Amino acid sequence: MPEHAHRLPTDTDDGMVLIISGPSGAGKTTITRGVERGIPGSVFSVSATTRQRTDADVEGVDYRFVTDDDFETMKSRGEFLETAGVYGKKYGTPKAWVLEQIKRGRLVILEIDVQGAISVKQQIPDAYAIYILPPSESSLLERLRSRKRESEEIIQRRYEQGRAEIEQARTCGIYNAFIVNDVLEDSIRKAIELVNDERSRRRQGRHA
Ligand code: ADP
Ligand code: 5GP
């Protein structure tokens, strides 16, 4: 943290970005919320998006739902760390907030796609990235349907794009770990363990 920055009593040097990616329906949101609950001081980055809000979404908690014009204005003002087009809609990570939280020593969780993860890793190379895989392709389709969130047409589109994204994730080389989300509690425990191990390794490195 720069010398001149005001340091709060709760600040630490443990700031880390955790990227969680995976195909739609793999269980990212469910696992992310579990990690957030399981790691004190972790915070979830609320992205802006131009996609339609669904009944399951809470404004300001899951996303900031904005118009296309608003999104473009925010982008031109440099408010995003990264932006990406996913399933034909725009998504962006809030830059100033994320950088501030890292400085405060928080674990900052970004639930973003592979393009976004590549972009964040270029800017913040020590970001730690986990990719969530479904146990099988058929379970991915079942989970997408189980949410009862989208029409069958959109579900099919997300399913096809998800399969392509898994291939991209395997080959792009930026993911530190892959978790097959079979039993939910095991996946959450694994993710928490990976993050805690990584943070203590870094802490030891700083004190060496
Ligand atoms: P994503 O955020 O990756 O699109 P969600 O977290 O919305 O996925 O999960 C998709 C659906 O699958 C949800 O209905 C969720 O409750 C369910 N789900 C998540 N993990 C598991 C699991 N391990 N076993 C069975 N169902 C799961
Ligand atoms: P959903 O519409 O299902 O909430 O999200 C669709 C996809 O967009 C998911 O893969 C999610 O991880 C990704 N996503 C959400 N917010 C962002 C963001 O700010 N940036 C990027 N690159 N992807 C995002």
Q: How confident is the model at residue 5 (pLDDT cuts 50, 70, 90)?
A: low
pLDDT at 9 over 90: no
Nearest CA to ligand 1 atom 14: 147
**21 within ligand 1 shell (Cβ under 6 A):** no
How much is the average pLDDT of 30-41? Answer: 96
Q: Any idea where the domains of the chain sit in the sequence? A: 16-207
**47 within ligand 2 shell (Cβ under 6 A):** yes
**116 within ligand 2 shell (Cβ under 6 A):** yes
Return mean pLDDT, the chain.
94
Residue 86 vs residue 129, higher pLDDT:
129
pLDDT in the model for residue 176: 98
Nearest CA to ligand 1 atom 12: 143
pLDDT at 3 over 60: no
**Which is the CATH superfamily of the domain at 16-207?**
P-loop containing nucleotide triphosphate hydrolases (3.40.50.300)
Q: Which of 63, 131, 140, 143 to mutate to test the pocket of ligand 1 (most atoms within 8 A of CB)?
A: 143
Q: Any residues with CB less than 8 A from the CB of 112 and at least 6 apart, and which?
A: 19, 20, 21, 47, 82, 84, 91, 93, 120
Q: What is the pLDDT of residues 45-77, one digit of tens each?
A: 999 999 999 988 999 999 999 999 999 999 999
Nearest ligand, CA 185: 1
